[in-house]
Amino acid sequence: MGLADGANDGQAQPLPPASRDRAGSTRKKRSNTLPRCSGSIVCPWFVTDGYRNPPVVDEVTQQLSAKIVEIAQVRRRFGYRRIHDLLRPDFPGVNHKRVYRLYSQAQLAVRKRKKIRRAASECVPLTVPTRVNEVWSMDFVSDSLANGRRIKCLTVADDFSHECVDIAVDFGISGQYVTRLLDRAAMFRGYPAAVRTDNGPEFTCRAFIAWAQSHGVQHILIQPGRPMQNSYIESFNGKFRDECLNEHWFETLAQARTAIAAWRQDYNEVRPHSSLGRIPPAEFAQRHRNKNQPPPATGNEIK
């Protein structure tokens, strides 16, 4: 025991692991308190000059940030991507990363709605249309007024151009009501080659079947309980509910019709569509019609 005591005389005793870690972290914090140029020389000018000139936001950035906030307040379900699409006419050449940075600085974000878990089922691929008026898809969306009375919305969309052909809003919609709506839409767009619907009574009644046969329109019925086979109109109905129905509180049927008609016009003519090259559906349809339109006859061809 005497030798062991003599060997440790005048030498520092090792610290326990916990104390050694605390001492190391303390030294590290003290060494990082002031910046150093090289070695142990402290740079005094860095302490004062580092934050002496804060960044100044230019006028264009201020206007861009104000416009982003303005659009986000009007279109609350639009993310920074769609806001960037709407900014391009007024701010040509603006980068989407710059829009995202200003969008985040303004603490703007689209709240994700909770999706309902559904049982896994077999997906049936849809045939991709190649022209306008090749296939129209139809379905119903229900909502209610402030007094609790239910209203029905019949949505009709073109599968190729993703245009909203029409949205009918009423307390009740029968098969004859549907045929009158389609005849009115055909006065301006022409009749479609086919319509795709579910097996609802409005689409399987005698009036609707007779209308389809009299106009030479093919009626495509999806399998019962398979809404994914009508995914074009299901996707549209999701946008319609998220951006229109969930954002309004309807007190009367007239108010609902006015608000839904305004949203439909905005959807067709202003709202950029991601699957159409980020342009509105009406512009995409017009470009396709002009491309497929035959050239005008020349003077030699006219007799």
Distance from C-alpha of 82 to C-alpha of 93, rounded to nearest angstrom: 15
**pLDDT, position 208:** 94
Q: Is the dihedral of CA 197, 203, 206, 208 positive or negative?
A: negative
Q: What is the token pair recorded at 68?
A: 């982003």
- What pLDDT, in 10s, does the model give residues 197-224? 998 999 999 999 999 999 999 999 988 8
- What pLDDT, in 10s, does the model give residues 105-144? 888 887 776 765 644 434 445 778 889 999 999 999 999 9
**pLDDT, position 223:** 85
Pairing of strands 135-144, 41-42: unpaired
Q: Which residues contact 293 (CB under 8 A, 6 or more apart)?
A: none
Identify the CA nearest to 124 among candidates 221, 195, 202: 221
State what percent of residues in the chain have pLDDT above 70: 74
- pLDDT surpassing 90 at residue 257: yes
**pLDDT, position 185:** 93
DSSP assignment, residue 122? P
Q: Which residues contact 100 (CB under 8 A, 6 or more apart)?
A: 80, 84
**pLDDT, position 67:** 87
Report field, pTM of the whole predicted structure over 0.95: no
**pLDDT, position 80:** 85
- What pLDDT, in 10s, does the model give residues 174-203? 999 999 999 999 998 899 999 999 989 999
Name the band, by pLDDT with cuts 50, 70 and 90, for residue 38: low
| Mean pLDDT score across all residues of the chain | 80
Give me the phi and psi of 104, to 5 degrees please. Answer: -75, -40
CB hemisphere CA count around 115 (13 angstroms): 5
Radius of gyration of the chain (CA): 33
**pLDDT, position 176:** 94
Identify the CA nearest to 170 among candidates 142, 199, 148, 201: 142
Distance from C-alpha of 28 to C-alpha of 32, rounded to nearest angstrom: 6
Q: Average of pLDDT values for 62-66?
A: 87
Identify the CA nearest to 275 among candidates 115, 110, 159: 159
- What pLDDT, in 10s, does the model give residues 69-87? 888 888 888 888 888 888 8
Q: Average of pLDDT values for 250-268?
A: 95
Q: Is the dihedral of CA 230, 232, 234, 240 positive or negative?
A: negative
Residue 173 vs residue 62, higher pLDDT: 173
Helices in 190-252 by DSSP H: which ranges? Answer: 201-204, 206-214, 231-243
Q: From residue 233, how far is each of 27, 121, 216, 258 by CA, in Å?
A: 65, 19, 22, 22
CA 274, distance to chain mean position in Å, is 8
Q: Average of pLDDT values for 153-167?
A: 94
